[in-house]
Structure 1
Amino acid sequence: MTDSLNELPQIIPPSSWVERHCGRITPGGRVLDLACGSGRHARLLAGLGFSVAAVDRNFEAILKFSAVPGITAMQADLEGDEWPLAGRTFDGIVVTNYLWRPRLPDVLAMLAPGGVLIYETFMLGNEAYGKPSSPAFLLRPGELRELAQAAGLREIAFEEGYTASPKPAMRQAICAVRE
């Protein structure tokens, strides 16, 4: 006999950073959940009435929530030569646990006037706690703040440093708006 609780997939709750700031996005607006993974933020945002584009390279992850009302799922290579989201704009962009520096200017360019960027990922020092541990995938201190300023965004909130939840890590997060 098996323990049915052990067979249930672990459900990861939305990031408290995303939950705290997603109310700043224009109600009913178009939101991009970039590198959406399991879709925890896409589901949260669709449940709040946003029209969500959930994009990830993992086709199986996309299939799991492609029928959720309010979500348009798209499988795409975000690190290839061609930018699959060229020409699109969004009222909100949410990115968590993902960093591909060559595309950061493209991501920021998709933010519509009045649009809100909510970005949270790992930073240098995280190698002490696990993966990611390569500097290529870890933000430098203040890096998101610098990127937002260079793109002409106004910072709403910024945090960086150690966090114990949902697991010990070094993280950096920003919420910024294009005025």
Structure 2
Amino acid sequence: MSIRVLALVGSLRAGSHNRQLAEAAVRHAPDGVSVEIYDALAEVPFYNEDLDTESGAPEPANRLRTAVSGVDAVLLFSPEYNGTMPAVLKNAIDWLSRPYGAGALQGKPTAVVGTALGQYGGVWAQEEIRKALGIAGAKVVDEEPLAIPGSLNRFAETHPENDTEVIESLHKVLGRLTADVAAA
């Protein structure tokens, strides 16, 4: 059985260390696990209940919902912006939480990892994201936290995929996510 994980990256910047971290997860996923990066978060409009009606939602939001519905688990990669989560991830969670009680995240094993410039590696953002995910109905997996501090220096000359400690930590997170999928 192959377990499919969708990666949502909270930084839209081309050289994002969180994007690189997601690429490392794709390349070094454990056997039986495939990780795919969702590349269209920038296209999803800000959540507006006037746009999300019984007759439909904007196509970019529908594509996001379909992508999340079609996988076994979700892994969010987040920087920390001003002590909290980036708007692009909050917006994705808002779209994925609807319709209330039956959104694409409902009961889906979901974890949050990331790297940030500061000394704590984005833990405040990750806490806020886990809170929002739980309220949105996701099955939040937080037993293997991964917050990598000092991203600017740590990854200045080394891509995360070449950092043994990072790969081991990603394996632990993906292992815990897949254990929750298997238990469901």
Structure-2-length-normalised TM-score: 0.44
Higher relative contact order (CA 8 A, sep 6+): 2
Higher strand share: 1
Structure-1-length-normalised TM-score: 0.45
Larger radius of gyration: 1
